Amino acid sequence: MLAPAAGTTGTPATDFHAAWVRALDALEVDVAAAEELLRTAHLAPVDEVARAAVWQPPRDLGTLPVSLRERGQALLDRQLEVARRTAEALVRSRRQLVAADALRPVRPDLPVYVDAQA
């Protein structure tokens, strides 16, 4: 279980609730960052995008408290929307790559010789 926030000396139940609030806060920041990356993906450095993909879920939190269920569900809905938009962005990128490849001039694989004496 996560340690209580600095300055808290509540009961185990309030510490448990506070740990979940901190976990949801952190996840909300990560989802907002992913949404922003989708919005400005062409502007973000590659290492920033790679860091966003390395998220690890917190451990030893137990089940989500009932009082945070609505917030957790809203956050899950946002995550699913980000995942859907990410998949759409990948499809668009693949289509753009195929179109760009189609516009490149075709070069023969074999050398072409011209008979200059004929």
- Mean pLDDT, contiguous 10-residue spans, the chain (118 residues): 50 85 91 84 67 71 90 92 86 88 79 75
pTM summary value: 0.61
- Nearest Cα neighbor of 25 from 49, 51, 2 is 2
* Tens digit of each residue's pLDDT (9 = 90 or more) over 76-93: 999 899 888 888 888 888
Percent residues over pLDDT 90 in the chain: 19
Q: Which two tokens stand for residue 101?
A: 């490849």
